[in-house]
Every structure is written in structure tokens, then in C-alpha cells.
């Protein structure tokens, strides 16, 4: 059995939940988010002894009601002795049986909806017609699109009824150091594999090394995460074929819509909605050059946004045939040769994510982007970090490196040449910066050199 991970972060979510549950009138709360991100654990942190927690499953509706009645029986003795032929009957019976307010928490609510679509209408009627309800209702689910649709779709019976709706997101990178005993570099490497999903951390913590965890949890054909993307996609859609295909192509280096469409032999316009869905779910991100918008640019790139999914589609999906023959060591050997380059990409993303929380050169900054295109000399130019200051007077321009060798002086020289050749710097005060894996010497004439410790400080 996996060692239980200590509860991390979620301060805002707990404060929000507790504040809502203390209102004079009973509340209806909707919580959703990707599987394994800690929704159930969050609820367990606020559950009191008198509260009712029911984990729905894929059984028929009558068996679900019987299961719920048994959970209610702990708070209302004898409740399960009666028969409840409808969801309406069990809700009204519970309300009439309670003497003080409790919390009724239904986890994996989409499973109930699948077998009893009428429950949304039943809840609407109950909420609208019983103003003096004696329980707060919290529904929770891993199907992000279904949960959003239940309360945000104007055609849904529950539209506008929720007092609070919030998404439980992955944890920020720095929290991984609280889960594992890792130095700053090891934390970046571990986050590059597991991302911010607490359950991944919990199971990986059982192994003595990152290598052992990767082999046993991901590469092994019987590993618990070997088919993880398929499970995640099936939470959201009837078939995972198209999503798996798109992420496989992005993971193998196809980042332009035209490239993806060409490989799938489909029209680009037919992929707009699937890509938009993957972006909404947090699995893909759209990258634009600094200073350009979706409408103004034709240089949009699509990248896998989640580190675990990125790792999977970079190294696992492309080696499925070898892994079926149990050649995990061979696959891991290939991963080892390319791992540093892969981590460098995640490190670059983390650097950009940290910029809005950081104060650099005495200034605060807007979200950072990359820039790529033709430089002033008309030759191809790429810049890892470009961010405008909040006062819109300065521009932060930086290079991000992940190397065991201290090449700060060389990196500074390259950066200064890039700045001179950048076509977007006019009228700005330029603040140069570099981010490196480690540094063993100090450049006296260059102030803004940052390491993983600096970045992780802002990712918590």
C-alpha cells in the first residue's frame, strides 16, 4: 500500500469551502478537476464526523441510492431500512430526518448522471423549492467537461444554482520538494516527469529513485500509469482515438496545425475543436510569439502543457511495441540519453511561469512568452523569455539554459547579441537576464543570473 502523502497547499480552496459552508443558508458547491489531482483528499480535509460522504460508481441508479442510504445511516440511524424508489424521495427523506445542518458530499457525481440523467432536474427542483434545506450539497467529479456543463451550460437544469464552482488544479512545482526530499535540481527533474499531480507523487515516493519509479509505474506494461492518458481522455469523451493521435504527433515534434493536419490527413479546420478541447482540459497549450495575438499571427505552435503527458508522449507512446515485449531497460536507456534535453524544455516553461510572481530589477512583470522569427539582420532568431513590465516601460529579455557546465559568461554574450538583433525592443528599457542550472562563478557586471532555487521560490 502506498504511503499517504501529507496534505499540501490548497489553502485557498479550503478557505473558500469553509467560508461558503458557514453561510446562513445552505449551499450548493461544485468541485471538478482532473483525476488524481486531490479532489477527494481536499474534501476529506473539511469533512466532519457528522457529514455524509458518498463515492458514486457505475452501478444502476437503484443500487447507487441504496449505497447512499447506507452512508446516511451513519448520521441518521435506521435511514437505510426504508426503500427509496427515486432520487427525489431520498433527498426529501434526508432533509426531513436531519435536526442540524450537515454536509452531503457526492464524489464522482458524473457516474450518477450517466445512469440517471434525471438527477440534475431533481436537484434543480429540490434547490428551488426547499429554501430551508438542512444540508449543504457538494458534488464533485473528474469529468471536467461534464461537471462544467452541469453548471455553466445555460441549457442545464443546474445552471446558475451553484453558490461556488471551482476547479482543483495540479500543484505548483515547488510543492514537490515538500513531498520528496529533493534538492532544487532534483525537484525540477522529478516535476518534469510527474507534473503537479499529488497521486503521482504519492506512488512515486514508494520507490528509491526516479528511475525505479519511472520503470515500475509508467514503462512496465502492468504499471498503474502505463495507460494513464487513455483513462484521462475517456473521462472526458466517448473515444480517445483523436486525442491520443494529436498528442502523439505533438510529442513527436509536430507543433504547427498544418503539420498535425497533414500527418492525420485531415483538413486543419476539422482539428480546431479537438485542439480547443485539449486546451480547455489543460493538456495542450497554444504558444504565440511575444507581441502577437491568435488573430494576428500565423506562427501559432501547439505544445503539450502537462509535464506527465509530455513525458508520456515523448518517451512511452512511441515505444509501446518495445514495452509490450517487456524491454523496459532498453527504453529507459533511451530516455536517459535524452532526459536532460527534455528537462531543459520543462525548465524553460517553469522559468516563464515564475516571471509574474518575481521581482526582477526592482520591477514586476506581466506573463512571459517566447519570441521567434526573423531578427533585424533577417536571420532566424529565438528568445526564451520576453516579458513586459507592469508599468509597460521595460522589457525583460532572457536566455534559459540547463547544462552541468557553468557557461554564464558565454550565455551573457549570446543574450546581448540577441537583444541587439531583436526587432521588438524599440522604446523599451531592456532588462537582460539568464537562468541556468547552476553557477560556480559570479559575473560582476551582470546582476540577473537565476538558478532553480530562485525559480522554485516563486512557484508555490
d(CA 171, CA 460): 8
**Tens-place pLDDT, residues 420-443:** 999 999 999 999 999 999 876 555
**Tens-place pLDDT, residues 348-377:** 999 999 999 999 999 999 999 999 999 999
Residue 41 pLDDT grade (very low, low, confident, very high; cuts 50, 70, 90): confident
**Average pLDDT along the chain:** 93
Q: What is residue 24's predicted lDDT score, i.e. its pLDDT?
A: 83
Phi, psi (rounded to 5 degrees) for 315: -120, -25
Query: Lowest-confidence range among 136-150, 174-188, 205-219, 440-454?
Result: 440-454
Residue 1 pLDDT grade (very low, low, confident, very high; cuts 50, 70, 90): very low
**Tens-place pLDDT, residues 294-319:** 887 889 999 999 999 999 999 999 99
Q: What is residue 406's predicted lDDT score, i.e. its pLDDT?
A: 63
Residue 427: how many other CB atoms lie within 10 Å: 7
Q: By percentage, how much of the chain surpasses pLDDT 70?
A: 97
d(CA 247, CA 24): 47
Q: What is residue 405's predicted lDDT score, i.e. its pLDDT?
A: 64
Q: What is residue 8's predicted lDDT score, i.e. its pLDDT?
A: 75
**Tens-place pLDDT, residues 381-405:** 999 999 999 999 999 999 999 987 6
**Tens-place pLDDT, residues 338-351:** 999 999 999 999 99
Alpha carbons within 13 angstroms on the beta-carbon side of residue 176 total: 30
Are β-strands 359-360 and 363-364 bridged in parallel, bridged antiparallel, or unpaired? antiparallel
CA angle 412, 418, 371 (to 5 degrees): 115
Please tell me whether residue 145 adopts helix, strand or coil conformation.
Answer: helix
Query: Lowest-confidence range among 136-145, 184-193, 214-223?
Result: 136-145
Q: By percentage, how much of the chain surpasses pLDDT 90?
A: 79
d(CA 122, CA 106): 15
Full-model pTM = 0.92
- Domains of the chain in sequence order: 11-167 (3.40.50.300), 174-347 (1.10.10), 353-457 (3.40.1350)
Q: What is residue 150's predicted lDDT score, i.e. its pLDDT?
A: 87
Phi, psi (rounded to 5 degrees) for 316: -100, -55
Residue 47 pLDDT grade (very low, low, confident, very high; cuts 50, 70, 90): confident
**Tens-place pLDDT, residues 70-80:** 999 999 999 99
**Contact, 6 vs 127, CB < 8 A?**
no
**Tens-place pLDDT, residues 282-297:** 999 999 999 998 887 8
**Tens-place pLDDT, residues 372-383:** 999 999 999 999
Amino acid at each position: 500500500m502506498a504511503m499517504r502523502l501529507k496534505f499540501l497547499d490548497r489553502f485557498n480552496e479550503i478557505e473558500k469551502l469553509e467560508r461558503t459552508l458557514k453561510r446562513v443558508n445552505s449551499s450548493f458547491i461544485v468541485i471538478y478537476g482532473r483525476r488524481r489531482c486531490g479532489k477527494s483528499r481536499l474534501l476529506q480535509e473539511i469533512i466532519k464526523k457528522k457529514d455524509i460522504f458518498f463515492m458514486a460508481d457505475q452501478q444502476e441508479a437503484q443500487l447507487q441510492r441504496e449505497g447512499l442510504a447506507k452512508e446516511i445511516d451513519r448520521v441518521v440511524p435506521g435511514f437505510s431500512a426504508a426503500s427509496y424508489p427515486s432520487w427525489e424521495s431520498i433527498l426529501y427523506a434526508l432533509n426531513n430526518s436531519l435536526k442540524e445542518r450537515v454536509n452531503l458530499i457526492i464524489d464522482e457525481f458524473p457516474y450518477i448522471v450517466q445512469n440517471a440523467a434525471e438527477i440534475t432536474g431533481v436537484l434543480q427542483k429540490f434547490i428551488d423549492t426547499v429554501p430551508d434545506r438542512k444540508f449543504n450539497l457538494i458534488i464533485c467529479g473528474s469529468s471536467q467537461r461534464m461537471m462544467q456543463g452541469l453548471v455553466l451550460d445555460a441549457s442545464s437544469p443546474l445552471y446558475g444554482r451553484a453558490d461556488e464552482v471551482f476547479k482543483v488544479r495540479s500543484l505548483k512545482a515547488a510543492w514537490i520538494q515538500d513531498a520528496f526530499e529533493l534538492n532544487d535540481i532534483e525537484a525540477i527533474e522529478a516535476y518534469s516527469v510527474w507534473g503537479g499531480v499529488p497521486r503521482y507523487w504519492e506512488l512515486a515516493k514508494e520507490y528509491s529513485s526516479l528511475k525505479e519509479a519511472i520503470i515500475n509505474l509508467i514503462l512496465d506494461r502492468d504499471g498503474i500509469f502505463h495507460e494513464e492518458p487513455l483513462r484521462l481522455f475517456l473521462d472526458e469523451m466517448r473515444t480517445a482515438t483523436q486525442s491520443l493521435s494529436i498528442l502523439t504527433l505533438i510529442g513527436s515534434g509536430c507543433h504547427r496545425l498544418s503539420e498535425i493536419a497533414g500527418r492525420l490527413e485531415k483538413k486543419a479546420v476539422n482539428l480546431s475543436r479537438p485542439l480547443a478541447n485539449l486546451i480547455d482540459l489543460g493538456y495542450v497549450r497554444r504558444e504565440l510569439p511575444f507581441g502577437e495575438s491568435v488573430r494576428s499571427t500565423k506562427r501559432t505552435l501547439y505544445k503539450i502543457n502537462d509535464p506527465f503527458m509530455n513525458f508520456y508522449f515523448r518517451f512511452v507512446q512511441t515505444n509501446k511495441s518495445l514495452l509490450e515485449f517487456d524491454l523496459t531497460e532498453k527504453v529507459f536507456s533511451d530516455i536517459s540519453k535524452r532526459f536532460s534535453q527534455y528537462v531543459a524544455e520543462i525548465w524553460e516553461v517553469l522559468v516563464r511561469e515564475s516571471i509574474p510572481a518575481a521581482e526582477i530589477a526592482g520591477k514586476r512583470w506581466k506573463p512571459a512568452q517566447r519570441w521567434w522569427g526573423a531578427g533585424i539582420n533577417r536571420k532566424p532568431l529565438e528568445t526564451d523569455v520576453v516579458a513586459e513590465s507592469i508599468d509597460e516601460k521595460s522589457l525583460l529579455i532572457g536566455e534559459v539554459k540547463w547544462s552541468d557546465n557553468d557557461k554564464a559568461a558565454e550565455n551573457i554574450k549570446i543574450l546581448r547579441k540577441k537583444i541587439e538583433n531583436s526587432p521588438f525592443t524599440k522604446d523599451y528599457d531592456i532588462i537582460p537576464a539568464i537562468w541556468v542550472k547552476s553557477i560556480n562563478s559570479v559575473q560582476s557586471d551582470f546582476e540577473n543570473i537565476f538558478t532553480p532555487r530562485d525559480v522554485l521560490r516563486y512557484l508555490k
